[in-house]
Amino acid sequence: MKLLLQPTSYEQMVANQAAVTGFIAGIDDLSVNVSFMCSDEELKKLMTQFADKEFFICLNKNYQNHDLPVLEKLLSKLKVTGILFYDLAIVHLNNQLNLQHNLIWHAEHFTTSFYPFAVLNDYQVKGMVLSLDMHYQEMIKISEEVNGITMLPVFGYYPIFNSIRHLASNYFTYFKQPKDISNLSLAVNDVRLPIIEEKNNTTILTSFLVDGSAIIKKLNKIDYGIVNGYQVDSKFLSVVFEKLKKQESLKGMADNLSDEIFYQQTTYRIKGDRK
Amino acid sequence: MKKPELLAPAGDYERAKWAFRYGADAVYLAGPSFGLRANAPNLTMSEIKKIVAEAHAMDKKVYITVNIVLHNEEAGKLHDYLKELDILQVDAIIVSDLYALQLAKKHTNLKVFVSTQASVMNYTAALFWQKLGADRIILARELAKDDIALIKEKTNIELETFIHGAMCTAISGRCVLSNYLTNRDANRGGCSQVCRWQFGLYQGDEKISDNFAFAVKDLIMVDYIKELMTLEIDSVKIEGRMRSIYYLAVVIAIYRRIIDGYYEDDNYQITKEDYLRLQRVANRLTQAQFFASKDQVAYHYYDMMENSNQDFLGVVLGKKDGLIYVEQRNRFRVKDQVSIFGPDRKEQVYTIQKMYDEDGNAITVAPHPQQKVYLDINAIVPVHSILQKLI
């Protein structure tokens, strides 16, 4: 499994470049919950500097009409290894404008099955980022069936809620409190969930750092593992890469690691059995 | 100006009948599988067959939600289910999954509507769904009027929009709080409405609030129906497959009246009573939100107070010897003035002159839920009329 870093800073990219195949960055105003955002010009410079690395752009916003001209312009000139996308507008533009981008379906909680990917595959979508909302055995099955690139978040905080509302600012405004939206977390059931408000949205993350180190061996058919560097200590991040590469467990090396997410099986339940 | 379809929720067979009775042109409901409201009773296939036949006899429609996010195991079972729905001649299915759309289009004659769960917010995404063969898009609930107008202008696909009921705080489909905090998969029918909880809020290690909240008010579009009709929206939808028959009757009847009113008269005036009833019926604060205003702060429901009322007094089950036969829902007594409205009638006020129990004994009060009583109101009102408090 090749490893990609979704960095939080340029320094994190430099520090971990030897360990990764490539990077994932966001684009100003067109991405959400991507710690490292840049303009297309900045991206070009980074691609020159890290010329031997793959560069993926995460365009994971739900676009509104006013975003479309900016999006179209960007897609027309962007030259990257691939684009991780959420909104199907990107597929349509890629086809309509004959752009030939390597599109990777990254619809967070929707990518729980091989079948919809097969539909998108007919429209030039080349791969998918598997959702973590399923048991690892389902992930294995999908990775065996997908005729294309597969990716999986293997380390770091994982988004479990996204809204286009400004949830923290709205609250502070209503209660006339100072509007400092930095470093916030929700407390519930003895856990703390990071809540991040950005210009266009609010995201809530898992209370734990997803840790796929112990299970990575079993998921070896997946092409790329994604490491999210958000709020990960720089020294520890290098340990993370070392362990992931050796397919060794990180268990016990930090307080808030959890691999439970890979063993959770959600079921479709209905009230009673009324067939 | 286009007269849109008035589309109502139906959590079960009985509620589907109530929805039609009170003026819905179409209902949406879940069958035994693949719907996003796992806690609603939902309908069996034989109930779907029955309600489809009844709806078609009235020139009305039935749509089936097949809008869970599919995992491989479910996707494999979907083909047979869609075939069954096709045989039952349901008018459309509502999906969020691309595979469900493709399967239905390849193997059935079903119309396919794109669920709001897919969060279509722009015309280019809408065009993609259109290209895939979708017949209608149920728009995301975060759209302003201008956004909807532009999607209408740039596409050639039916558009449906929500007009009343609960809103998700998150972008639909992008919230799995329920999975992680209550072990119920929101995208597979188990949403436990975590967004209505109160939380502690920390900044670093310092607690700055004990009651941080981000729930939002319910949607109410009563003031914008005329604008939606001018935009030529094809269908307007009421949320709430878990809601009571009272909620359905009140909300459907009022929006029916408003749509018909504007269609017949550009200067139609919505009554104060209709405003009030819509605001009280769910016991929650309401607001039009994104359609009409950018003031996000006002969308929220920070006080968390749901002001319970006992407006719903009873349902008329029949008549006998000049009396109406009523099943009680909230306490009422002799001499009370009550408002009664029915499938084809606006509210009218009556005074309960006399009341009798089922054995014919005169009584003065009906205190028990589901108690059946006979009322003398000096009038006979149709079966399925509803008694409510005056407001």
Note whether A185 contacts B71, CB cutoff 8 Å.
no
Domain end (from B287, B302, B329): B287
Least confident residue range of A7-21, A101-115, B22-36, B103-117:
B22-36
Q: Percent of chain A scored above 70 by pLDDT?
A: 96
Please say if the pLDDT value at position A268 is more than 60. Answer: no
Count of all residues that appear for chain B in the document: 391
Do B226 and B281 share a domain, yes or no?
yes
Average pLDDT (B67-92) is 92
Residue B36 has a pLDDT of 58
Residue B33 has a pLDDT of 77
Residue A275 has a pLDDT of 35
Average pLDDT (A131-155) is 95
DSSP string covering B257-284: HHHHHHHH-TT----HHHHHHHHHTTSS
Residue B107 sits in a domain whose CATH number is 3.20.20.60
Which residues form the domain of B327?
A: 312-389
CB < 8 Å to B81, chain A: none
Residue A274 has a pLDDT of 36
Question: Residue B104 class from Cβ within 10 Å (0-12 exposed, 13-18 middle, 19+ buried)?
Answer: buried
Residue B99 has a pLDDT of 96
CB distance B159 to B170 below 8 Å: no
- For residue B45, the surrounding DSSP H or E stretch is helix B45-57
When pLDDT is cut at 50, 70 and 90, the band that residue A267 belongs to is low
Residue A257 has a pLDDT of 96
Query: What is the per-residue burial (b if ≥16 Cβ within 10 Å, else e) of B181-199?
Result: bbebbbbbbbbbebbbbbb
Q: At A163, list the tokens.
A: 């809204």
In DSSP terms, which residues pair with B338 in a beta bridge?
B350, B389
The interaxial angle of helices B72-87 and A136-145, nearest 10 deg, is: 70
What is the number of structural domains in chain B?
2
pTM: 0.95
Q: Which residues does A122 contact at the CB level (< 8 Å), separation at least 6?
A: none
Does any CB of chain B come closer than 8 Å to the CB of residue A139?
no
Do B99 and B165 share a domain, yes or no?
yes
pLDDT in tens, B184-202: 877 777 788 888 899 999 9
Residue B347 has a pLDDT of 86
Q: Is residue B187 part of a domain?
A: no
Note whether A268 contacts B122, CB cutoff 8 Å.
no
When pLDDT is cut at 50, 70 and 90, the band that residue B231 belongs to is very high
Residue of B nearest to A145 (CA): B72
Note whether A270 contacts B189, CB cutoff 8 Å.
yes
Domain end (from B249, B271, B287): B287
CB < 8 Å to B133, chain A: none
* Chain A nearest CA to B190, separation (Å): 7
Do B324 and B274 share a domain, yes or no?
no
Task: State chain B's maximal CA–CA distance in angstroms.
Answer: 72
Do B245 and B347 share a domain, yes or no?
no
For chain A, give the mean pLDDT: 94
Q: Which of B68, B74, B147 sits opposite A64 (nearest CB)?
A: B147
Q: Is residue B186 part of a domain?
A: no
Do B277 and B326 share a domain, yes or no?
no
Do B21 and B90 share a domain, yes or no?
yes
Please say if the pLDDT value at position B306 is more than 90. Answer: no
In single-letter form, the type of residue at position A31 comes to S
User: First CA to last CA across chain A, in angstroms?
Assistant: 43
Do B226 and B344 share a domain, yes or no?
no
> Does B185 or A171 have the greater pLDDT score?
A171
Do B230 and B355 share a domain, yes or no?
no
When pLDDT is cut at 50, 70 and 90, the band that residue A37 belongs to is very high
Q: Which residues does B123 contact at the CB level (< 8 Å), separation at least 6?
A: A65, A68, B150, B151, B153, B154, B155
The residue among A72, A109, A196 with the most chain B CBs within 10 A of its CB, best to mutate, is A109
pLDDT in tens, B235-289: 999 998 888 999 999 999 999 999 999 999 999 999 999 999 998 898 888 999 9
Please say if the pLDDT value at position B374 is more than 60. Answer: yes
CB < 8 Å to A166, chain B: 296
When pLDDT is cut at 50, 70 and 90, the band that residue B37 belongs to is low
Do B270 and B326 share a domain, yes or no?
no
Q: Alpha-carbon distance B42 to B33, whole Å?
A: 9
Please say if the pLDDT value at position A244 is more than 70. Answer: yes
Q: Which residues does A230 contact at the CB level (< 8 Å), separation at least 6?
A: A6, A8, A35, A156, A157, A205
* Chain B nearest CA to A28, separation (Å): 19
Do B279 and B373 share a domain, yes or no?
no
Closest CA to B331 of B316, B311, B303, B349: B311
User: How far is CA B214 from each of CA A28, A108, A166, A174, B208, rounded to the nearest angstrom?
Assistant: 26, 22, 9, 11, 15
